[in-house]
Amino acid sequence: QAADSKREQFRRYLEKSGVLDTLTKVLVALYEEPEKPNSALDFLKHHLGASAPENPEIEALRLEVAEMKEKYDAVLEENKKLKTKVKVY
């Protein structure tokens, strides 16, 4: 009976701290994935890590990647226009 009491205390602790809710949300997300990932564990790690506070350096890198993608798209568009121009003449 002492073991049951300890389990119940631990369950309440997990519930109060939000662990059960977070795990449930991640497991539901995995369940709702149309194409199941090769590694369910990696899926869980990725999604649990995503809820952690964001490192400012990582956020800066994400912004830089977004800027680079915009520049890349602009260069591709310019390249397409220039190719069309060259073919016309």
pLDDT in tens, 39-51: 998 898 888 876 5
Q: Whole-model pTM?
A: 0.49
Concatenating the DSSP letter of every residue in 59-80 gives HHHHHHHHHHHHHHHHHHHHHH
The Cα–Cα gap between 68 and 28 comes to: 34
- The pLDDT score that the predictor gives to residue 64 is 95
CA distance 37 to 42: 8
Supply the pLDDT for residue 58: 81
Domain boundaries, the chain: 1-52, 54-88
